[in-house]
């Protein structure tokens, strides 16, 4: 892997440098507002030149994002943000590329592009807003809508099995997956900063609330009354502890299955709990963590997986450099005279 070549800014930037003069037209109370503010705080921390940020989106409520950031950006077409972002990054590796997408935009019409972006491991940062519904088109069920949910297009309850974005990313050989919630901007900001510093495709799923068409869909995880027992915020090198009084934890039993245990019961101590290793190349435990969900288990938040691997853009750069060095054809004249020639 090559060193990050994105140019640094000479003068310190602030979040105000990235605030757009456009009116933000998301619904009042929408979780997108908190995500926007978090990104505005992250960009100055990264220290890149302002002109070296670009924001790419597809279609959906989340995809209005480029208008609301004072950076270069492209509002693309439905499901094609990954293809556009790939082209942008390969054409100019000195850009910090941020792809903004939703569960419908990226996992339905854009599903094929999404899994291959992850597989190729191109150095792009993806923020996937997951409100488990199509908000912009007024409440149809999406690929992440829970089975049985009544929506505009499933009046008797959806009978489809939903995607788990983390499971999809890790199954596509993803090198970075994290999860945050719109109700915790501090955690979102920390996760985004980790994602930006990862060399490769970073996927950040953000559990986001749509107050109009799917209000409180993540309530068990985000409400003040239940969140302590339904959120496990993992940190590298630390035991997996959660609960209002930090009395619960995750334990891997002799059958290699995860159990939710209480410290002090059945001889369980803090030393028996799993310790998070986000850098473990073996994805099996990361996959287990990504699929946990209330009420049986807490939802795992934070950086779940972050491993080093060759990136598509680095390998392409090396391949081009090798061919330039070793090819007998150095210019157009060499090409035109490289084989049989004739005159018309």
Q: Which superfamily, per CATH, for 15-217+311-323?
A: Thiamin diphosphate (ThDP)-binding fold, Pyr/PP domains (3.40.50.970)
Nearest to 291 by CA among 181, 201, 167, 170: 167
One pLDDT digit (tens) per residue for the chain, 344 residues: 455 789 999 999 999 999 999 999 999 999 999 999 999 999 999 999 999 999 999 999 999 999 999 999 999 999 999 999 999 999 999 999 999 999 999 999 999 999 999 999 999 999 999 999 999 999 999 999 999 999 999 999 999 999 999 999 999 999 999 999 999 999 999 999 999 999 999 999 999 999 999 999 999 999 999 999 999 999 999 999 999 999 999 999 989 899 999 999 988 999 999 999 999 999 999 999 999 999 999 999 999 999 999 999 999 999 999 999 999 888 888 888 887 767 77
**Helix 32-46 vs helix 185-197: crossing angle, to nearest 10:** 40
Per the CB < 8 A criterion, the answer to whether 250 and 238 are in contact is no
Tokens of 147: 């089975």
The per-residue pLDDT for 3 is 54
Q: Is 91 left (phi over 0), alpha (psi -120 to 50) or beta?
A: alpha
The per-residue pLDDT for 337 is 84
Domain ranges for the chain, please list them.
Answer: 15-217+311-323
Rounding to the nearest 10 degrees, give the CA dihedral for residues 327, 328, 333, 337.
-120
Residue 16, exposed/middle/buried by CB under 10 A (0-12, 13-18, 19+)?
exposed
pLDDT tens column, 4-58: 789 999 999 999 999 999 999 999 999 999 999 999 999 999 999 999 999 999 9
If one counts every other C-beta atom within 10 angstroms of the C-beta of residue 34, the result is 18
Tokens of 101: 């997408």
The per-residue pLDDT for 1 is 47
């Amino acid at each position: 892997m090559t060193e990050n070549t994105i140019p640094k800014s000479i003068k310190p930037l602030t979040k105000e440098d990235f605030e757009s003069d456009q009116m933000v037209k998301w619904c009042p109370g929408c979780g997108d507002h908190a995500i926007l503010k978090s990104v505005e705080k992250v960009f100055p921390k990264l220290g890149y030149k302002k002109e070296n940020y670009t924001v790419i989106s597809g279609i959906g409520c989340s995809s209005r994002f480029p208008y609301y950031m004072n950076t270069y950006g492209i509002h693309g077409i439905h499901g094609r943000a990954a293809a556009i972002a790939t082209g942008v990054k390969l054409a100019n590796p000195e850009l910090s590329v941020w792809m903004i997408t939703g569960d419908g935009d990226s996992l339905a019409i854009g599903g094929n592009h999404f899994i291959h972006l992850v597989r190729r491991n191109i150095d792009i940062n993806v923020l996937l807003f997951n409100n488990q519904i199509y908000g912009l088109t007024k409440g149809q069920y999406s690929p992440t809508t829970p089975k049985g949910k009544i929506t505009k297009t499933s009046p008797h309850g959806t009978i489809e099995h939903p995607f788990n974005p983390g499971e999809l990313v890790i199954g596509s050989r993803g090198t970075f997956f994290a999860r945050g919630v719109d109700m915790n901007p501090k955690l979102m900001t920390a996760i985004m900063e980790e994602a930006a510093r990862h060399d490769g495709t970073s996927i950040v799923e953000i559990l986001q609330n749509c107050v109009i068409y799917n209000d409180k869909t993540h309530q068990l995880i985000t409400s003040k009354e239940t969140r302590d027992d339904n959120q496990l915020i993992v940190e590298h090198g630390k035991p997996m502890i959660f609960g209002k009084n930090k009395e619960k934890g995750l334990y891997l039993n002799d059958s290699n299955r995860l159990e939710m245990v209480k410290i002090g019961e059945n001889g369980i101590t803090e030393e028996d709990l799993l310790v998070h290793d986000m850098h473990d190349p073996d994805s099996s435990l990361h996959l287990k963590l990504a699929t946990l969900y209330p009420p049986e288990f807490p939802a795992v938040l934070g950086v779940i997986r972050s491993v080093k691997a060759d990136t598509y853009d680095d390998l392409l750069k090396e391949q081009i450099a090798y061919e330039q060095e070793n090819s007998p054809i150095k210019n157009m004249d060499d090409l035109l005279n490289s084989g049989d020639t004739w005159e018309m």
